[in-house]
């Protein structure tokens, strides 16, 4: 017989904390291309104003499944914003005196005093269908094989090699062009053109671009709002391994914006994203187990996932963890705590989750190395959370740290520097870690 849900637990995290949680609600939007321009031209970029936090929806009766609070959503306030999935605890930083930072930096990787700036994430493309057209004669086939280049982006967008690479079909360069057009620093903000370049990148299978395009369709930014299209691009990106696409896809299924709330499907995607370290997915999974929505009601599993989210600093998860603990035996709490302490993130596909910078030229300069112990320590923490084994962060970029950075750079398709620099902070900060 299953233990009934205690009333205190229902009221604390099912009604009191009933709200969507927007990715980027407390963070500053940063363009990948803005970073490129800074690094190539040694210009300084001022932080953008932080977007407004999402409104709290009205509470509904705790027992009414049809009106249950929408799941936490990893959303975008503008086409280039991504950021912390724990907006309850805003993260900021100040520029260290000894660090020569000439580009935007990543959230949670720098000290706490100034607005956080991060690099954008991206999306992916649709699977190609078999080509059933008749085979053209040799001369025609050769002509057809030469793809027509796109128009060259405006000069203000960035260096000529970047713009030429984008025009010639480089999906990663197209993503960078889309980012700067959507963010509006180097050139006037142009959501429509930004969406066009994101779609070109996504159509070639660039997974981070698929995620970004799903965001644009969900918000109606630069394109007509279309939840079916958003779901389609989230699905493609999620199936290719993008964690944030998994979360947002689950949120669409659970939120009921497209019809019935499909908690069973949502629970599967929340579970996959939670295993990859997504704090909001861990929180939502704990919620589903607590209520028995899409999964068998299981307070032990609920306690586990709330506990994991709480380890990342989520205050709501900590409250929910404490409430659920009241419904468990001391033995169960101790056993699950041991399991939580031994928990490891599932392998993350870095190429599917982190959009690289500067791959359009072999001469790209990633920026000066940053020696601040506080910055290096936070980079070490982030790398540990992504599955690297660096031991206790000490703020010293030793051999293990350099090897981990090189592996991260290599796996995202960037040139290897093995150093903590502005490029690393921007790319590492493009997903919550």
State whether 187 and 266 are in the same domain: no
State whether 292 and 234 are in the same domain: no
State whether 265 and 225 are in the same domain: no
**Collapsing DSSP states into helix, strand and coil, what is residue 205?**
coil
Cα distance between residue 311 and residue 295, in whole Å? 23
Q: In this predicted structure, what is the pLDDT of residue 71? A: 57
Is 3 within a domain? no
Q: How many domains does the chain have?
A: 3
Is 343 within a domain? yes
By residue count, the chain amounts to 433
Q: In this predicted structure, what is the pLDDT of residue 100? A: 28
For residue 285, what are the domain limits?
259-348
Cα distance between residue 98 and residue 103, in whole Å? 15
Q: In this predicted structure, what is the pLDDT of residue 27? A: 28
Average pLDDT taken over every residue of the chain:
75
Cα distance between residue 224 and residue 217, in whole Å? 7
State whether 287 and 313 are in the same domain: yes
Is 188 within a domain? yes
Residues 340-382 pLDDT 10s? 999 999 999 999 999 999 999 999 999 999 999 999 999 999 9
Low-confidence spans in the chain with pLDDT less than 50: 1-69, 74-146
The pTM assigned to this predicted structure is 0.71
Is 21 within a domain? no
For the chain, first and last CA: distance in Å? 38
CATH number for position 380? 1.10.101.10
Cα distance between residue 102 and residue 365, in whole Å? 11
Q: In this predicted structure, what is the pLDDT of residue 49? A: 43
Question: Are 245 and 125 a contacting pair, CB within 8 Å?
Answer: no
CATH number for position 230? 1.25.40.10
State whether 237 and 155 are in the same domain: yes
Look at residues 299, 319, 348 and tell me which one is the last residue of a structural domain.
Answer: 348
State whether 156 and 229 are in the same domain: yes
State whether 177 and 234 are in the same domain: yes
Residue 243 CB partners (closer than 8 Å, separation 6+): 273, 276, 277, 278, 281, 348, 353, 431
Look at residues 322, 348, 374 and tell me which one is the last residue of a structural domain.
Answer: 348
Is 127 within a domain? no
Cα distance between residue 240 and residue 157, in whole Å? 29
Is 407 within a domain? yes
State whether 161 and 235 are in the same domain: yes
Question: Are 179 and 32 a contacting pair, CB within 8 Å?
Answer: yes
State whether 286 and 217 are in the same domain: no
Question: Are 44 and 102 a contacting pair, CB within 8 Å?
Answer: yes
Is 100 within a domain? no
State whether 273 and 217 are in the same domain: no
Is 230 within a domain? yes
Say which DSSP state 146 is in: S
Residues 284-326 pLDDT 10s? 999 999 999 999 999 999 999 999 999 999 999 999 999 999 9
Look at residues 242, 272, 298 and tell me which one is the last residue of a structural domain.
Answer: 242
* Number of other residues whose CB lies within 10 A of the CB of residue 225: 12
State whether 271 and 299 are in the same domain: yes
State whether 395 and 344 are in the same domain: no
Q: In this predicted structure, what is the pLDDT of residue 433? A: 75
Q: In this predicted structure, what is the pLDDT of residue 431? A: 81
């Amino acid at each position: 017989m299953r233990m009934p849900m205690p009333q205190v637990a229902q009221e604390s995290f099912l009604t009191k904390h009933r709200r969507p949680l927007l990715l980027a609600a407390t963070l500053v939007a940063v363009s990948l291309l803005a970073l490129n321009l800074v690094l190539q031209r040694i210009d300084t970029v001022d932080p953008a104003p932080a977007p407004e936090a999402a409104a709290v929806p009205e509470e509904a009766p705790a027992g009414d499944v049809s009106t249950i609070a929408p799941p936490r959503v990893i959303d975008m306030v503008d086409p280039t914003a991504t950021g912390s999935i724990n907006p309850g605890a805003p993260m900021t930083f100040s520029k260290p005196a000894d660090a020569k930072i000439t580009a935007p930096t990543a959230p949670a990787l720098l000290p706490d005093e100034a607005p956080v700036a991060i690099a954008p994430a991206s999306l992916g493309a649709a699977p190609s269908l078999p080509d059933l057209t008749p085979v053209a004669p040799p001369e025609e086939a050769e002509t057809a094989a030469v793809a027509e280049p796109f128009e060259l982006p405006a000069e203000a967008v960035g260096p000529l090699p970047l713009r030429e690479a984008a025009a010639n079909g480089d999906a990663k360069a197209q993503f960078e062009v889309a980012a700067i057009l959507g963010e509006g620093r180097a050139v006037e903000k142009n959501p429509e053109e930004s969406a066009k370049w994101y779609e070109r990148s996504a159509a070639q299978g660039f997974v981070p671009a698929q995620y970004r395009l799903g965001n644009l369709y969900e918000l109606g930014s630069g394109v007509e709002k279309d939840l079916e299209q958003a779901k389609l691009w989230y699905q493609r990106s999620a199936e290719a391994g993008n964690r944030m696409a998994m979360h947002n896809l689950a949120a669409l299924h659970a939120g009921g914006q497209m019809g019935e709330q499909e908690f069973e499907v949502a629970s599967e995607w929340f579970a996959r994203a939670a295993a990859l370290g997504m704090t909001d997915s861990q929180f939502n999974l704990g919620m589903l187990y607590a209520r028995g929505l899409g999964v068998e009601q299981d307070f032990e599993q609920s306690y586990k996932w709330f506990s994991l989210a709480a380890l990342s600093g989520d205050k709501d998860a900590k409250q929910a963890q404490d409430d659920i603990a009241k419904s468990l035996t001391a033995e169960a709490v101790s056993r699950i705590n041991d399991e939580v302490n031994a928990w490891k993130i599932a392998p993350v596909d870095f190429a599917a989750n982190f959009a690289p910078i500067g791959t359009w030229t072999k001469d790209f300069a990633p920026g000066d190395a940053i020696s601040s112990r506080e910055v290096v320590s936070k980079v070490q923490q982030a790398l540990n959370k992504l599955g690297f084994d660096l031991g206790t962060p000490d703020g010293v970029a030793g051999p293990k740290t350099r090897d981990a950075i090189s592996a991260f750079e290599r796996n995202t398709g960037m040139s290897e520097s093995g150093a903590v620099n502005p490029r690393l902070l921007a790319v590492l900060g493009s997903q919550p870690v």
